[in-house]
Each structure stands twice: as C-alpha cells, then as structure tokens.
Amino acid sequence: MQHTDIIKLLSTAPSMHPVTVCGWVRAFRSNRFINLNDGSTIHNIQCVIDFEAFDAEILSKITVGAAIEIKGVLVESQGQGQKVEIQVSEVTVLGEADPEEVKLTILSPKRHSLEKLREQAHLRVRTNTFGAVMRTRSKLSFAVHEYFQKNGFYHMHSPIITGSDAEGAGEMFKISNLPHNNAPVNEDGTIDYKQDFFGKETNLTVSGQLEAETYAMGLGKVYTFGPTFRAENSNTSRHLAEFWMIEPEVAFCDLAGNMDLAEDFIKYVVAYALENCADDLAFLEKRLIDSEKTKPQAERSDMALTDKLKFILENNFKRVTYTEAIEILKRSKPNQKKKFKYIIDEWGADLQSEHERFLVEKHFKCPVILFDYPAKIKSFYMRLNDDGKTVRAMDVLFPGIGEIAGGSQREERYEVLVQKMKDMNIPQDELYWYLDLRKFGTCVHSGFGLGFERLVQFVTGMGNIRDVIPYPRSPGNAEF
Ligand code: 4AD
Ligand code: MG
C-alpha cells in the first residue's frame, strides 16, 4: 500500500499535492476532525472531512481504534496546534473497532494506570506513553550499536543456551526436554542429563561475558547485546527475569580504561536520545511533571527529565573506592538514625540499592563509579588486587536507578584464577575453555555489562522497569 508516514507529512510544506496516509483513529470530533496516528511519531495528523460528502455508514465506522486509509491533499491548517492538515477526499475503513468493546480497553480515550496498561500489553504501544517509550527504546538500541561500531568494536552474538553459569550465582533457568514426571535417573537418583537433548545440563544464559572474553582474545574489542535471563526472585521496579544486556569486552584494557569506556558510552547514548527523541522525551517529561504534582513536595524530583539527562552529559562520573564509600555510609545520617533497612556497620557489607542511591542522590549528587570491592561479594572472574582482599570491580550508579552497569578487570593469571574458582566452588571442568584463555597468550582485559532496560528507564523517566520492555517477564508473570 502506497502511503506516507505521518512524521514525514508533518514536516512537509503544505503543497496541495495528493497524499495518502494510514493509521489508527485517536479521536473523531464533530463528525469533521479525525486525529490519526500511525506510530511514526507521537504527533497525530488532523484530517478534515466534509461529512455531507460522505456516507453516514462510513462515518459511523470512523471510531477510536479503527484502522483507516485516507486520501486527500496536504493544506495549511486553519486551526491551532498544527501547521498542516489533510483535506480528506477518500476514506477507507481497513479495520473496524467496535466502540462498545473499545470502551472496555485501554484504547478508550482517558488516562489509564500503568498497571492497567500492563494487563493489556498487546495494546499499550498504541498509547502516547508507550509509543514514546518504545520509540526511544528503539533509538537507544541503534545508538548502542552506532557507538561501538564507530569506535572499532566488533559485535559478537553470544549464545543464549549455555552449559555454564557465567556469574556463578546459580540463578539460571534450566533447559530440558526430559519428561517432567518420568525423567531418566542415575543410580543415585539424580536426573540423568546425558539422555537430555544436549547430552548435558543446560540453561538460559545469565550473561554473555565469558564468551565475549573468548572473542576479545581474538578480535580485540567486542560487544554483545542480547537477551539474558535470571531466575532470581526479585519483585522490584528494577528487576526482570528476562532483560537485554550490553556487554563490551576489551583486550589490553585495565579498570581505569573500562571506567572511561563506560562513562563515554553512556554519555554518547544519552546525548543521542536527547538529539533524536526530542518529541517523545518532551511528552514523557510533561507526563512526569503532571504525575509528580500528585506527590508530596518532598518526594518530587528537583529536576525535569531532560535537565536530568543533560546533567549526566555535563558532569564527570565521580570515581570512589568501595572502602571510601563504606566510610561515608557508616557516618551517614540514615545509617546512624537506623533509617536504612540494612545498616552498614562493617567493611565487607554488600551494598543495597538504598545505599547506592544515597551515595548518588544525597551525597555526591552525580553519577558515581564505585570500584575495588571486597572479593567475597563479587564474582570469581574479577582480578584480585595486591591487597589480597579486594578485586578490580566497578559498578556505575545512577540517580533513581542505582546500579546501571557493573564490570571489572578480569583475572588474567591462570594460577590465581584456578585458586579463586576453587575457593568459590566454581566447577573447573565446565569452564576449561575459559581457563584456556589464560594459557594461550593471556593479557590484561576488562569489560562491563549494562542493563538495557535500566538505561531506557533512566532516559524515559519511567518508574517501573516493566514499562520499558514490550512483554515483561517477572516472577509469576509471563503473559503473552
Ligand atoms: O552486575 P551484573 O550481574 O554483571 C554481569 O552480568 C557481568 N557479567 C557483566 C560484565 O561484566 N560483562 O549485571 C550487569 C547489569 C547490571 O548492572 C544491571 O544494569 C543489569 O545488568 N541487570 C538487570 N537488569 C534487569 N533485571 C535484572 N534482573 C538484572 N540483573 C542485572
Ligand atoms: Mg552487578
């Protein structure tokens, strides 16, 4: 079907040239003004129809939610709010939408709660909010690739089905084709995975890092950008069971270089969104300001969305060691007044999101990169420092989000890595290939993982991570 995207028409000079548009009806007022949206932009195009020249039956089918095709001419708009509009000469109703049924859905023209929208996730992208979020998500995804491709990185597709646990945290979804109630068993009663599809135990990947490391050891600079899965029972506004992760991995790069890369990368994609998603971000910003008005003064954020994004670009990320952070937290008011849920009383404590957000939002008031964490609370593959108790780990902490990215310089020394795997009960036979990298031309290398949905959350200002991915998966929820 030959037709022009609405985004293109809205920036075209009124020419009286014939045009064709297709879209979904957002409103039809006074039997005369059709507001049409085709998803190409947050803005609708107004189509003006002379009702006397059209069949009453056709007019009765131009209802909210219906898909229609319109032919007409692009003219200067007489009304306010738009430069151009279409004078309609022909309407074809492509797909009807029964007003009685539409009334019961989120397509009905009134404000619906985000929870309600989540229940009808198959329709929510037709709302202004989700259209804006999902267009921004798409642009950000492109910006991710653009950044790495422009900077000499190669994209590698890490496997989704794996035989290993990249994080060593045991939070994996198992994959098996064995019958649930009649699986073959070994003599000791355990399930005999040798008879399973892959002849061994397999899972959905929790991270593409280990495989990305193998590729960095040949291609130098690589990144993965794929789905990852975590069977952690976290019912929070920042956790999903299925999320997309961006993981660069760089040979001949230490932790300082890794921090530089993370900061430069995040600034690039945020700047890209500001430049390329202006209309959607303006809408989301207004939406946030409106919803903030219903909150008590103390809970309102002191910066508008786009100001918050610009703030990220204009400020250096503050680099702070874990040890310094613990000192700050120990002395902090919420710790001393026992306002934190988890009180920090000694070095070695794992930081919770409340602590991360305190450091970023209250103490430093800018993005923070914490580094040199205690070895005990971090993964086996991180490089041990000379003090023997901290590792070259880093977490990037953002306002409103907490941890947006986490990474490290990797342990490149064979013996040290073997010892760490022993200490942390990581099976060496499963990861022989990972150890091989340390035997054949090992070198200093580093990387990090950034949760794409947390980035989209930050850029769009959405409070719940379930509202920045088309079909969220979380404990007890895999609808659609
Ligand atoms: O900190 P994580 O677990 O680190 C890794 O997986 C490393 N292998 C990354 C690397 O060095 N290549 O996860 C990295 C990021 C987190 O900072 C967070 O942004 C996101 O992934 N993330 C989640 N996002 C949504 N839902 C979850 N359940 C997430 N778990 C982690
Ligand atoms: Mg982490």
Residue of minimum CA distance from atom 1 in ligand 1: 406
Atom 21 (ligand 1) nearest CA = 451
- Overall number of domains in the chain: 2
What CATH number is attached to the domain comprising 378?
3.30.930.10
Does 397 lie in the same domain as 272? yes
Same domain, yes or no: 238 and 268: yes
Residues 219, 90 share a domain? no
Angular region, 470: left φ>0, alpha ψ -120 to 50, beta rest? alpha
450 CA distance to ligand 1 middle (Å): 6
Q: Is residue 187, in this structure, part of any structural domain at all?
A: no
Closest ligand 1 atom to the C-alpha of 209?
Answer: 12
| Shortest-distance atom of ligand 1 to CA 234 | 28
Is 309 in the same domain as 271?
yes
- Per the CB < 8 A criterion, the answer to whether 369 and 318 are in contact is yes
Indicate whether 152 belongs to any domain: yes
Residue 404 alpha carbon, nearest atom of ligand 1: 19
Q: How far is the CA of 100 from the centre of ligand 1 (A)?
A: 44
Do 142 and 46 sit in the same domain of this protein? no
Asked if residue 211 has its Cβ within 6 Å of ligand 1, the reply is no
Among 110, 141, 161, where does a domain finish?
110
Cβ atoms of residues 391 and 375 within 8 Å: yes
Q: Work out the angle at residue 335's Cα, subtended by the Cα atoms of residues 329 and 338, and round it to the nearest 5 degrees.
A: 165
Distance between CA atoms of residues 39 and 41, nearest Å: 5
Same domain as 148, residue 41: no
Over its length of 480 residues, how does the chain's per-residue pLDDT go in tens digits?
Answer: 799 999 999 999 998 889 999 999 999 999 999 999 999 999 999 999 999 999 999 999 999 999 999 999 999 998 888 899 999 999 999 999 999 999 999 999 889 999 999 999 999 999 999 999 999 999 999 999 999 999 999 999 999 999 988 787 778 999 999 998 999 999 999 999 999 999 999 999 999 999 999 999 999 999 999 999 999 988 899 999 999 999 999 999 999 999 999 999 999 999 999 999 999 999 999 999 998 888 887 777 778 999 999 999 999 999 999 999 999 999 999 999 999 999 999 999 999 999 999 999 999 999 999 999 999 999 999 999 999 999 999 999 999 899 999 999 999 999 999 999 999 999 999 999 999 999 999 999 999 999 999 999 999 999 999 999 999 999 999 999
Q: Looking at the structure, do residues 71 and 40 belong to the same domain, yes or no?
A: yes
Question: Is the sign of the CA dihedral 456, 461, 463, 467 positive or negative?
Answer: negative
- In this structure, the answer to whether residues 343 and 306 fall within a common structural domain is yes
Of 110, 137, 153, the last residue of a domain is: 110
Residue 13 domain boundaries: 6-110
144 in the same domain as 38: no
SS3 call for 397: strand
Report the alpha-carbon distance of residue 256 to residue 325 in Å, rounded: 18
Q: Is residue 178 part of a domain?
A: no
Helix (H) or strand (E) holding 278: helix 278-292
Residue 464 has a CB neighbour count (10 Å cut-off) of 14
165 touches ligand 1 (CB under 6 Å):
no
- Is the CB of 398 inside a 6 Å radius of any atom of ligand 1? no
Distance 378 CA to ligand 2 centre (A): 8
Same domain, 270 and 406: yes
Any idea which residue has 């000192």 for tokens?
327
Please list, residue by residue across 396-428, b when 16 or more beta carbons sit within 10 angstroms of its beta carbon and e when fewer do. bbbbbbbbbbbbbbbbbeeeebeebbeeeebee
Residue 371 lies in a domain: yes
Same domain, 167 and 291: yes
In this structure, what CATH number is given to the domain that contains residue 58? 2.40.50.140
The residues facing 371 across adjacent strands are 321, 394
Residues 106, 133, single domain; the answer is: no
Q: What is the DSSP letter of 217?
A: H
| Domain assignment present for 194 | no
CA of 451 to the centre of ligand 1 (A): 6
Longest CA–CA separation in the chain, Å: 85
Asked if the structure places residue 472 within a domain, the reply is: no
In a domain, 179, yes or no: no
Do the domain assignments include residue 478? Answer: no
Mutate which of 173, 225, 243, 258 for ligand 1 pocket (most atoms within 8 A of beta carbon): 243
pTM for the model stands at 0.96
